[in-house]
Structure 1
Amino acid sequence: MVKKVSKSSNASSATKASGQSALSGAIKDSAQQIWLAGLGAFSKAQAEGGKAFETLVKEGLSIQRKTQAVAEERISEATSRVSSMANDISSKAAGKWDKLESLFEERVAKALGTLGVPTARDIEALMARIDELNAHVAQLTGQAPARKRAAAKPAARPAAKAAVKVAAKPAAKAPARKRAAAKSAKSTPAA
């Protein structure tokens, strides 16, 4: 019996060995096919990969151009908005500055007028009047007229006379008005 068992175990060993060799052969064949499929895919990817890469580069370039165009448009819009706001602000500031300057000049002129300080126009008008009077005196005495001042202009004489009269009247009347107002305030009984 031992002999029979050993014969049958040898037969089953041979069957197992042939089954294993068939299985290992199938695995080797399958591995070989997988390897070859991978090499084919790699080769195809190399061949088409260059084309795909170039296509992707072209698409990326077109997208970059579009985004740059949109960004430049937005930048130009923002720049125009900022420049218009800056122009508005500067014009408003200039207007306010001019208003402030004119207000300051008016107040200074009013203060100087209250103090009785003559303006440059008043002095020019007086100089022109002095020149006229000198010429008239020279004409009456028969002497040669004294030389005229450079500031006096013949066309400006009528305006200068009016300016002298206008400038002289408020300066002379201001104290009189104050005195009259003070007298009327004293004489009027309080209610």
Structure 2
Amino acid sequence: MEDKNQEMQGAHNRKKNVLDFRKYTKQIWLAGLGAFSRAEDEGTRLFDSLVKVGEELESKTSDIADSTVGVVGEVKDRVTGRVSDTKEKVERALDERVNSTVSRIGFASHKEVAQLVELIERMEQKIDDLTEEVKKLRSKK
């Protein structure tokens, strides 16, 4: 009876661990999305602010506006580059956190599972080969 209670408790703990992992993974994902969104919003606000300054300058003089258009384009390119860089950094950080969490919990990585599948396939082939050899030996008797 006690063994059965321990088994049920173990099953409950495994289920809870899986649920905790899913919750933690979702939180990491949401944090990454939030960071990406914030970086994108801040880059957009900076760009919008620069456009507004450009519009004011254009209304004052056409000469200043012509030169400002080039500057705004360059700044837009830099801001866009920064947003892209920030996005890549967030993605890398998110990947590292998820991989670290998966590793800490003890789940097998995709690479480890692929290696195990390959090993099983090779073992199955060897078993098939040995089975054929045994059949041939038995048929010779």
TM-score, with structure 2 as normaliser: 0.47
Whichever structure has more helix as a proportion of its residues is 2
Query: Taking CA–CA contacts closer than 8 Å with sequence separation of 6 or more, which of the two structures ends up with the larger relative contact order?
Result: 2
- Structure whose alpha-carbon radius of gyration is higher: 1
